[in-house]
Each structure stands twice: as structure tokens, then as C-alpha cells.
Amino acid sequence: MIKKVLIANRGEIAVRILRACKDLGIQTVAIHSTADSDAMHVRLADESVCVGPPQPRESYLNIPSVISAACVSGADAIHPGFGFLSENSTFSHMLEEHGLIFIGPKADHIAMMGDKITAKKTFANLGLSTVPGSDGAVTNIQKALKIANEIGYPVLVKAAGGGGGRGMKVAHTEADFAEAYETARREAGVAFGNDSVYLEKYLSNPRHIEFQIMVDKFGNYVHLGERDCSLQRRNQKIWEEALSTVLTDDIRESLGRKVADAAGKLGYLGVGTLEFLYENEKFYFIEMNTRIQVEHPITEMITGVDIVREQILIASGKKLSVTQDEVKFRGHAIECRINAENPETFFPSSGVVSNYHCPGGPGIRVDSALYSGCKVLPYYDSLIAKLIVYANDRNQCLARLQRALNEYVIDGIDTLLPLHLKLASNQDIISGNFDIHFLERFNREAI
């Protein structure tokens, strides 16, 4: 069993991982930048190591500093959380060479899923349906145009190195195609150092639905159902739900089994998420994430499985603590991401939280590193808290969500709390009538 974990992250996810370690009796080491010495994750850890200046590149992303911190503190494993080094296959490979355990999948699988073309091919070969498109990379404009015409417009040009919505261009007609293709290629080359692109039919009004899976080293695997993450803005999810209102129990069971079987056959290790677009009653696999996700708590609430604990157990060479038969879905959960942003312009906000009161009571979970008097810093991601609400059904969950949002006090900075209050009472949200474009329309109509 792992005895000491270094948490290579900050903020709410570092605190979340610390809590799982404490529940398992595992010692914890926090790392922090010079700007974060008073941060909650540092206070709660057994030990802490400063790894550099405020800029992430020089601290939380500084591989030699992070590995040195693990070596001097005697940690035997590193949990990367999400963002930062979590999907860096070089980092995970380097840990192996230092005799350190990376709490995450094998380096090969991280690299494989980092290349969206390889990921798509891999899961298509394992029996998942994918969006109609080019067979792999397109390498010149003439061939690309011919394939785009065959697919039929609108066509999406996607970067192999992209993902999470970065490096995509839509061509609505044949006349638009050359520019979309050239721009996507050029931008991908600059952003990812890889100008490889592929083509897909553009789905105009999909929902974003993802399945959580876990695989141990004995080849046991399960899925934990799906999350509906359609409410997003510029590819930043704002509100997530489990389960989705669009899946029947039968579809969940059959697609869930297909997804888990595919991960099992691949010899994947650890937890992962397979992303799908859902349109006209069909699911299309698009990408796989090889990290713990921001929205994992809603799955924890409806299944009772502690996914971070499972990550640590899997990395320690233990068996999954549940079989598929033991996974039961109960009730409904919603997560609201509380970002330090202006709720209308989404402009990031920083400063001191002058007063903090966090909601509680039945069905409420808050994952956050905030406290009264803490600083919200401009160097890092604006996610400062996650309000996770659970109830027996979706309507009760929405009622509790309103109750909790009204109770929540975060003074001194702008937050998305007022936006969430509006969403929680919006008729389309209440009816479950939304797709990935809902928030753009909602913001436009609000002005």
C-alpha cells in the first residue's frame, strides 16, 4: 500500500485528494508556489514543500522541482489532480524512472489519448461509434476538400493535439473549407507543436455526455454511469448533472457495458472518462480523458463510490472495491462550478475573500479550498469552489440547489453564484431542455 502521497496540485482538488489520503491513513505532502504559502491545501497537509514562484510554469508545472520535492519528502507516489501535469505522459514516465508511483494511467495510454486521432481509431476498433469523418489525419488541401465534400457540410476541422474544444474550425460550406482547414492547421502547429488535423461531420446541437470508468491491474473494470456536461461556456463546463435525463436505464446499461469493456480490452489502468456527443438519439465517442475530472463528485454522490480513493487503491495494486453488479445509481446530483469571475462578462476576479459562509444541510457537499480571509490569486484557474447537491430526484435536487445558492456567501470578489441562481430557476433547465449552445443563447438573451 502507498504510504505517503505528494499532491502535485493546489486549490480544491488538492484538498479533495488530501481528504481521500487521510481517510486511507496515508501521509500527505503538499507542494506550493511562493504565492500559495497560506493556502488551505498547505495547511491541511502533513508536510509541504515550496516548488517555485507564482507562475505555474515555474512551480506546479516545473517537473524537476516537483520530483525533487517528492524525493526529499520521501513520498512514494504523486497524485497530479487535474490540469497541470495530470495528462503529461513524459512526467508519468519520469516518475517510473525515479521509482515513484504516478497515481494515474500508464504513460502509453496518456500519450495515446492525447492524440485525438489515435484515441478515435482505438475506440472505433473497440466497437464504439464515432462521428463520421476522415479516416485519420488529412494531409493536403485537395484530399481534405474531397473528403469534406463526401462528408457533407457543415464539416469540423479538428486538431489531433487539441481536445477540450481547442483547435477546432467549422466550415459551413465548400467555400469556407480551405480557410477553416488552413487556419486550424496553422493554429494547431503553434498551440500544440503538431499541425496534424482530421475532419468530422459537425453536429450542430449535441449534448455532451461522458461515462466514468475504472480499471484495476487484475483486469476488473466497471463503469459508474454518465454525466451530462452540456452546460458550458467556451468549453469550460459550468454545471454538470448525473445522471443525464436523456438516457434510459437500458441504454445506460448497454452503452456503459460497451464503454467499460473497451477500456478493459485496452488494458487501461486507473480511472478515466469517455466523452460522447449525443444528438438525435445517437452517441458518438469523441475523446477520452485520463485524469480525475472536476465533475467527479456528482458520480460519487449517486453511486457512493469514492473515485479518488479508488485511484489510490488501484495505484497501490489493490482490487476495485465494487463490481458492476454492486454499482447502483440512486437519486440525482448537480454540480455548480463557482468560478471567481464576473457572472455576466466572465472576466476573472481576484482579491481577498473578506467573508465566507458555506451552505450545508441535507444533500449539500462543497469541495473548496476557500476560507474567510484567503486570497484568490490571478495566476491560477478561476475555479474556487464546487457546490454539489444531491437529492432523491431531479426536482428536489433543483430545490435544494436554490436553497444552497441562497445561503452561500463569498464576499470580496465576483463569483458565478448569481448566474447559477438564474440557471436553477430557468424553465428550460428545469425541463432538461438544453444542449451545448444553451449558455451562449442564455447570455445573449440576458443582455
Q: Considering the rule CB under 6 A, would residue 199 count as an interface residue with ligand MV4?
A: no
For ligand MV4, the closer CB: 90 or 235: 235
Site for ligand MV4 in 73-92 (CB under 6 A): none
Which has the closest alpha carbon to 81: 296, 349, 384, 316?
296
- For the bound state, the minimum distance from the C-beta of residue 427 to ligand MV4, rounded and expressed in Å, comes to 22
User: Is residue 286 a contact point for ligand MV4 (CB under 6 A)?
Assistant: yes
Annotated active-site residue 291? The verdict is yes
Least Å from the CB of residue 206 to ligand MV4: 6
Give the closest residue to 238 by CA, choosing from 380, 386, 368, 397: 386
Considering only the stretches 160-168, 311-319, 325-333, 369-377, report the one whose residues sit in contact with ligand MV4 under the rule CB under 6 A.
160-168
* CA–CA dist 115, 230 (Å, integer): 23
State which residue, 169 or 258, has the beta carbon closest to ligand MV4.
Answer: 169
Rounded Cα distance, 84 and 224, in Å: 25
Sites for ligand MV4 among residues 206-225 (CB under 6 A)? 206, 208
Strand 77-79 with 4-7, pairing? parallel
DSSP E strands: which ranges in 316-363? 332-339, 351-352, 355-357
CB closer to ligand MV4 out of 10 and 227: 227
Q: Which residue is nearest to ligand MV4, using beta carbons?
A: 165
The reply on whether position 132 binds ligand MV4 by CB under 6 A is no
For residue 173, the minimal CB distance to ligand MV4 (Å) is 16
Residues ≥6 apart with Cβ < 8 Å to 410: 338, 353, 355, 356, 370, 384, 385, 417
In angstroms, give the least distance from the CB of 420 to ligand MV4. Answer: 18
Number of residues that bind ligand MV4 (CB under 6 A): 18
| Residue 200 interacts with ligand MV4 (CB under 6 A): yes or no | yes
Q: Which residues contact 325 (CB under 8 A, 6 or more apart)?
A: none
39/436 with CB nearer ligand MV4: 436
Q: Is 27 in the site for ligand MV4 (CB under 6 A)?
A: no
Closer residue to ligand MV4, CB minimum distance, 29 or 277? 277
Element (H, E) at 226: strand 221-233
Q: Which is nearer to ligand MV4, 206 or 363 (CB)?
A: 206
164 touches ligand MV4 (CB under 6 A): yes
Contacts 24+ apart (CB under 8 A), 274-277: 274/123, 274/128, 274/210, 274/211, 274/213, 275/208, 275/209, 275/210, 276/208, 276/209, 276/210, 276/211, 277/131, 277/203, 277/206, 277/207, 277/208, 277/209
By CB under 6 A, tell whether 285 contacts ligand MV4.
Answer: no
Helix (H, G, I), strand (E, B) or coil at 152: coil
298 to 88, 242, 245, 304, 381: CA distances (angstroms) = 26, 6, 14, 10, 21
**Residue 179 DSSP class:** H
Asked if 156 is part of the footprint of ligand MV4 (rule: CB under 6 A), the reply reads yes
Question: Residue from 53, 136, 165, 189 that binds ligand MV4 (CB under 6 A)?
Answer: 165
Binding of ligand MV4 at residue 289 (CB under 6 A)?
Answer: no
Q: Is 271 in the site for ligand MV4 (CB under 6 A)?
A: no
Task: Identify the residue among 28, 48, 212, 232 touching ligand MV4 (CB under 6 A).
Answer: 232
- Residue 101 half-sphere exposure toward CB, CA atoms < 13 A: 22
Name the residue nearer to ligand MV4 (CB basis): 174 or 440: 440
Question: Pick from 309, 315, 425, 387: which is nearest to 16 by CA?
Answer: 309
Exactly one of 131, 269, 294, 401 binds ligand MV4 (CB under 6 A); which one? 131
391 in Cβ contact with 400 (< 8 Å):
yes
Catalytic residue chosen out of the listed positions 10, 207, 227, 291: 291
> With respect to ligand MV4, which residue has the nearer C-beta, 52 or 163?
163
Smallest CA-to-CA distance from 55 within 72, 33, 70 is with: 33
Closest distance of CB 207 from ligand MV4, Å? 8
159 strand-pairing partners: 197
- Which range, of 20-28, 198-206, 214-222, 391-399, touches ligand MV4 by CB under 6 A? 198-206
List, edge to edge, every strand of the sheet that includes 221-233: 282-289, 270-279, 207-215, 221-233, 236-242, 332-339, 383-391, 364-368
210 beta partners = 227, 275
Contact segment (CB under 6 A) with ligand MV4 among 20-28, 95-103, 197-205, 341-349 equals: 197-205
Determine if 235 is a binding residue for ligand MV4 (CB under 6 A). yes
152 counts as binding ligand MV4 under rule CB under 6 A: no
Residue numbers at the binding site for ligand MV4 (CB under 6 A):
131, 156, 163-165, 200-203, 206, 208, 232, 235, 275, 277, 286-287, 436
Residue positions annotated with a catalytic role: 291
